[in-house]
């Protein structure tokens, strides 16, 4: 089997403008392409940040995620981004009005980490 790396991660959002603003204007992803898919009644926006690719599907009528933390569902738990400085990134996010959890140390690696959420409540992690 020749699996070398993850090609992309797909995320479902509920609001086109809010989700695109968050991932492009706040997190810095660039739009590769975006298409409206008539048959599915949704938008598909392909995004890239260095070697990370996200497929952002915008569909208003999907069920919401279970609460976080506490109630979770099978499937994607969270998406983690490696950063040089969790503190610096938290300050940048907070200055943009994005709330973050307190910075803590990963129990197993000892590295700094924290969480924040996208507009639809998907947990996103910062990790050194």
Q: Do the Cβ atoms of 126 and 113 come closer than 8 Å?
A: yes
Q: Which residue in the block uniquely carries the two structure tokens 């959002």?
A: 13
Domains of the chain by start residue, with CATH: 1-61 (3.10.180.10), 77-128 (3.10.180.10)
| pLDDT score for 64 | 81
Whether 113 and 102 have beta carbons less than 8 Å apart is answered as no
CA angle 73, 81, 128 (to 5 degrees): 120
- For the chain, the 3-state helix, strand and coil shares in percent, each to the nearest 5, are 15, 35, 50
**10-residue averages of pLDDT along the chain (128 residues):** 85 94 97 95 95 93 76 82 96 96 94 95 93
pLDDT of 68 reads 65
pLDDT of the residue at 2: 79
């Amino acid at each position: 089997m020749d699996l070398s790396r993850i090609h992309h991660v797909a995320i479902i959002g509920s609001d086109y403008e809010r989700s695109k603003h968050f991932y492009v204007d706040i997190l810095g992803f660039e739009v590769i392409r975006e298409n409206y898919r008539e048959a599915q009644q949704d938008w598909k926006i392909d995004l890239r940040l260095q070697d990370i690719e996200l497929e952002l599907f915008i569909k208003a009528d999907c069920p919401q995620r279970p609460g976080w933390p506490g109630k979770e569902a099978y499937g994607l738990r969270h998406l983690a981004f490696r950063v040089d400085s969790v503190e610096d990134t938290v300050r940048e996010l907070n200055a943009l009005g994005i709330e973050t959890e307190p910075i803590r140390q990963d129990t197993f690696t000892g590295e700094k980490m924290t969480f924040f959420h996208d507009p639809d409540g998907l947990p996103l992690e910062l990790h050194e």
